[in-house]
Amino acid sequence: MYIICLLVLLFIITLLFLYNSFIASNSINKDNNNILLNKINDNKNSLDLFNNHANYRLGDAVYLLNDKNNWTYDKDHSTLKYANISLHNYHDIYPNSILSEYLKLSNYKEKDWDTLIEIVNNKFYRDININKSTDCLMHVRVGDAIDELCSGVNFLNKFYKNIEKSEYKDKSNIIRCDYIKPLKYFQQKIKKLIEMGITKVYLMAGAHIKLPSYKYSTYYINKIVEEIEKAGLQVELKLGGSPDDDLLFSMNFDYFIQSEGQYCRLIKELNEKINPDFVI
C-alpha cells in the first residue's frame, strides 16, 4: 500500500513538473515573440522592394488568364483592391513589355510556351558576371504576401516553426501564410549548395504592390542573407527590379532555389524548357 501511494505521489509530482515546464515554455516563447515583433516593427530601415510595375502580374497572366476573378477589381478585397488594371490595358500601361507582347501574340491564351520562349529569347542578354558553375539564383516571395497576408505572430510561426495559418473571415480580412518558406527550407537548400560547390547566391525579390513599408519582408530577407553568409557563401541582393528584367536575368543560371507564387513558378518552368542543365 505504501509503495502504491508513493508511486501515485511521484506521478502527481511529475505531472505538476511537466505542467509548470509547459507554462514556462509558453511564457518564454511569448516573450521571445514579443521581442522579435518589437524588433521588426521598430525597424526604421525597411527595404524599398517596390519594382515600379504596379499590378504587373506576369506569372498570373501565363497561368491564370481564364480565371476572371483574379483580374477583377474589388475595393474590399485584401489584395484584389490593388488589381485595378484590366488585362486589355497592359498594352497601353506597359508597352513593349513581355506581358503585353505575350497577351497580344498568344491571343490571351494560357501557357503558350512557344510564344513566350520566342519573346524572351529576343530580349535576353547574357550577363558575363555570372559563373554558371558556381553561382545560384534564389527567388524570395515578398511584399503583400507577407506584410499584408501573414504578419505578426503568424509570420513568426510560419518562418520559425513552419506552422501555417489560413483564415478567410471576409474579403478584407484574409490570413494566408503559404507564400512564406520556413527558415529550415533555406537552411536545407544552403547545405545542398555547399555540397554542389556553389560559392555565390544572387537573392532576387520584388513587390508589385506599393506598401507604406515592407518591415516583415525586410526581416525575412535579412534572416535569409544571414543564413547564407553564416555558411560561408557570398550573397548579392537584386531587389525591386522589373519583373521582365528579373525573368531574363534568371536565364543566366543553371541552379535555382524557388519560393512560392505564379511568378516563381514561371521562372522555374520557363528555364526548365529552355535550359537542359537547369537544376532546382
Can you give the pLDDT at residue 173?
73
Can you give the pLDDT at residue 104?
93
The count of structural domains within the chain is 2
Strand order in the sheet with 200-205: 234-239, 200-205, 135-139, 256-257
Q: Which residues contact 206 (CB under 8 A, 6 or more apart)?
A: 49, 50, 51, 142, 143, 239, 240, 241, 242, 243, 246
Residues 90 and 151 in one domain: no
Question: What residues are paired with 204 via a beta bridge?
Answer: 139, 238
Residues 143 and 101 in one domain: no
User: Considering 123, 146, 175, which residue would you say is the last residue of a domain?
Assistant: 123
- CA 123 to CA 94: how far, in whole Å? 15
Residues 196 and 252 in one domain: yes
Can you give the pLDDT at residue 161?
93
By the 8 A CB rule, do 279 and 256 touch? Answer: yes
Can you give the pLDDT at residue 28?
39
Query: Residue 143, Cβ neighbours under 10 Å: how many?
Result: 24
Per-residue pLDDT tens, the chain, 280 aa: give them: 666 656 656 666 666 555 554 444 444 355 577 777 776 766 667 898 999 998 888 998 899 887 766 666 656 555 555 556 677 778 888 999 999 999 999 999 999 999 999 999 999 999 999 999 999 999 999 999 999 999 999 999 999 999 877 777 666 677 889 999 999 999 999 999 999 999 999 999 999 989 989 999 999 999 999 999 999 999 999 999 999 999 999 999 999 999 999 999 999 999 999 999 888 7
User: Considering 93, 123, 153, which residue would you say is the last residue of a domain?
Assistant: 123
> Model-level pTM?
0.83
DSSP class of 77? S
3-class secondary structure, 234: strand
Strands 200-205 and 135-139: parallel
User: Considering 69, 93, 123, which residue would you say is the last residue of a domain?
Assistant: 123
The cell numbers describing 17, all together, are 513538473
Question: What residues are paired with 12 via a beta bridge?
Answer: none
Residues 176 and 115 in one domain: no
- CA 5 to CA 28: how far, in whole Å? 34
Can you give the pLDDT at residue 112?
97
Residues 154 and 68 in one domain: no
Q: Which helix (H) or strand (E) holds 202?
A: strand 200-205
Domain span at residue 152?
135-274
DSSP states of 79-141: TTTS----GGGHHHHSTT-HHHHHHHHHTS-TT-HHHHHHHHHHH----TT--TTTEEEEE--
Residues 156 and 251 in one domain: yes
Residues 99 and 164 in one domain: no
